[in-house]
């Protein structure tokens, strides 16, 4: 069942070393919803000239507990993402996504959006959770598993690498 959920993306901060995005989730349904934690690599960077989507890379594979959250009807939650371009050296391991993940961003104009998908084939590579595990978590939280696909609005970004970065 696809419950009504909207995502709103905004660029909050930008430099050659990092782009900071805020992603707001809003539950429009009449049910309390359980969602898996939306991983940073759900952010998509589409090059406006080439129409090619940028690749994400990780410097560490890890195992961890499953992470998620619930949203009551009408409730919203905002998550902040600090994105590291691959041209920036890997910082000291501080356990954050900024350390773990990087995205290939050559100098260009990009459309940036977030895509979240949960279906019967759901699999979390960190916790190895599957859809039945989400159903169990939802039952414990007296919620319904959010199942569907949703895409945020697009944000235009001009990334000029280590010399200069500006919002379009």
Check pLDDT > 90 for residue 115: yes
**Is 23 within 8 Å of 81 (Cβ atoms)?**
yes
Of 124, 126, 1, nearest to 134 by C-alpha is 124
Residue 66 pLDDT greater than 90, yes or no? no
Domain count, the chain: 1
82: domain CATH number is 2.60.40.2970
Distance CA 157, CA 21 (A): 11
Instruction: Output phi, psi for 116, to 5 deg.
Output: -120, 130
Note if the pTM is more than 0.85. Answer: yes
At 62 the pLDDT is 58
Whether 81 shows a pLDDT value over 80: the answer reads: yes
Determine the Cα–Cα distance for residues 158 and 19; give it in Å rounded to an integer: 11
pLDDT above 90: residue 166: no
Please report the pLDDT score of residue 91 as a whole number: 85
pLDDT at 165: 42
Residue 55: per-residue pLDDT:
96
Range of the domain at 162: 5-167
């Amino acid at each position: 069942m696809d419950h009504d959920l909207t995502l709103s993306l905004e660029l909050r901060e930008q430099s050659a070393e990092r782009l900071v995005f805020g992603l707001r989730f809003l539950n429009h349904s009449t049910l309390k919803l359980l969602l898996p934690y939306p991983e940073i690599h759900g952010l998509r960077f589409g090059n406006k000239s080439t129409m090619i989507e940028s690749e994400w890379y990780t410097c560490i594979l890890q195992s961890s507990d499953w992470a998620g959250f619930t949203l009551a009807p009408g409730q919203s939650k905002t998550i902040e993402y600090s994105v590291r371009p691959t041209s920036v050296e890997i910082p000291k391991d501080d356990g954050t996504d900024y350390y773990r993940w990087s995205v290939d961003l050559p100098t260009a104009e990009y459309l940036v959006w977030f895509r979240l998908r949960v279906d019967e084939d759901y699999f979390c590579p960190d916790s190895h959770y599957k859809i039945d595990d989400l159903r169990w978590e939802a039952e414990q939280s007296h919620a319904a598993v959010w199942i569907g696909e949703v895409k945020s609005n697009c944000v235009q970004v001009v990334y000029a690498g280590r010399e200069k970065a500006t919002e379009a």
